[in-house]
Structure 1
């Protein structure tokens, strides 16, 4: 086995007022580090929780590192991915943090491709509900960014294809349909047992809203957010490897 990269990995999450959300992100950082022993993996947050990305990068430079790989823990390339994270990296440079920083793709679909570990994680979370279902709603947070919405549509089609079942995208905010509306549409189309798949990385207000909307409309099960799953840890490392900053996973 080759040694792990000396370039640390910084996972950047949106952040939430829910304490469990930050705990989930930190648990994922530990899972990534466990999947690749010797790798330094840190968590950072754009809002609510600390530390901020620029603070983590400054601390890494102060510890003697000369480079870092930043992974956006985002399922779409909407505003936070296109604006907030680059702004945080620019602030670090303005503050004098002279690290060589590689920014990976988000952990959602990129270039029309839905990552296999993402689909595997969604399927596992659905299976964990222990409830049979004949249709699925893939519930996401929501955005007005059409390009970002198209990637959620893509993920819903891919998940439905893997399951061999109807699967509609839905949104807890900003976009239509709501999870409840999607559940209703599937039931009107003949589905009798609709499950909610959570297109969320961590728990929070919007995840709770999505679950409530779906259950009110008759959903029989609601999967948990992806969280610190092995599949998500694998996906993070795939993103890191794609920018050439780390060795393959240990066997």
Structure 2
């Protein structure tokens, strides 16, 4: 399995990707799990695939199917013998994603201590990709029994601070932030920092190297494996 992350200049993000790979490997003994990055870090997908020289299942560590999932990654693995799995966002396997978001939020603040929630995400100009985040926000809010506003670091509105203001207009007073991010980095800091400056009472850590994410990754991996032949 080759995990492909976006990549970041922030060492926290790349360290989290490698830690997540170790969790996936521990969850599936015997599976060779490698890591690569689309940009801003090494190795690239092409470098790893060239070294392996065999058929590989590629799992994008992307929470939306936007530019990097639709255009960048397919271009970088073109010409290699790969099976390309779906990104981690989307409806398939969302229970694992929601479980991870909830656990991170519960670690940051007790459920009785907030009455509104911002779901902070990176952002994209692709409207259908944003729908995936918005759907996750709706499901998370329904599960927790609080109103939710999605906020973005770039590429779309609202900002974290604007989302806090919208929740206040809806009657919420104690607003927490859940993080639709795999790892810390500039975009995470931007959107969660904006919400905190606007008065959010708690900010959850990103999903990180969690068992919930590892299970989702393995589901994506298994979904593209060929079915065993029937005897």
TM range (shorter): over 0.9
Q: Is the 8 A contact 1:13 1:44 kept in 2?
A: yes
Provide the aligned C-alpha RMSD in A. 1.5
1:48 to 22, 36, 40: 40
Q: Could you tell me how far apart the structure 1 residues matched to 2:163 and 2:227 are?
A: 41
Secondary structure in structure 1 of the residue aligned to 2:218: helix
Aligned residue for 1:68? 56
Displacement over 6 Å in runs of 4+ = none
1:116 to 95, 109, 129: 95
Unaligned runs of 5+ in 2: none
2:185 to 164, 182, 204: 204
2:149 to 156, 165, 168: 168
- Indicate yes or no: 2:127 matched with 1:127: no
Aligned residue for 2:135? 154
Q: Is the 8 A contact 2:93 2:216 kept in 1?
A: no
- TM-score normalised to structure 2 length: 0.94
Secondary structure in structure 1 of the residue aligned to 2:200: coil
Give per-residue Cα distances to partners, 1:139-188, cap 9 Å, x unaligned: 10111101111111111111111111111111011111111111111112
Q: Could you tell me how far apart the structure 1 residues matched to 2:15 and 2:134 are?
A: 29
Q: Could you tell me how far apart the structure 1 residues matched to 2:12 and 2:150 are?
A: 25
Q: Is the 8 A contact 2:36 2:48 kept in 1?
A: yes
Q: Could you tell me how far apart the structure 1 residues matched to 2:202 and 2:184 are?
A: 16
- TM-score normalised to structure 1 length: 0.87
Secondary structure in structure 2 of the residue aligned to 1:196: strand
Q: Could you tell me how far apart the structure 2 residues matched to 1:183 and 1:177 are?
A: 9
Unaligned runs of 5+ in 1: 1-8
Shift of 1:245: 5.8
1:189-228 alignment runs, 5 A limit: 189-228=170-209
2:67 to 76, 79, 102: 79
Shift of 1:130: 3.0
Shift of 1:134: 1.3
Secondary structure in structure 2 of the residue aligned to 1:102: strand
Q: Compared with structure 1, are the counterparts of its residues 167 and 101 closer, same or farther at alpha carbon in structure 2 (3 Å cutoff)?
A: same
**Between Structure 1 and Structure 2, how many residues are aligned?**
226
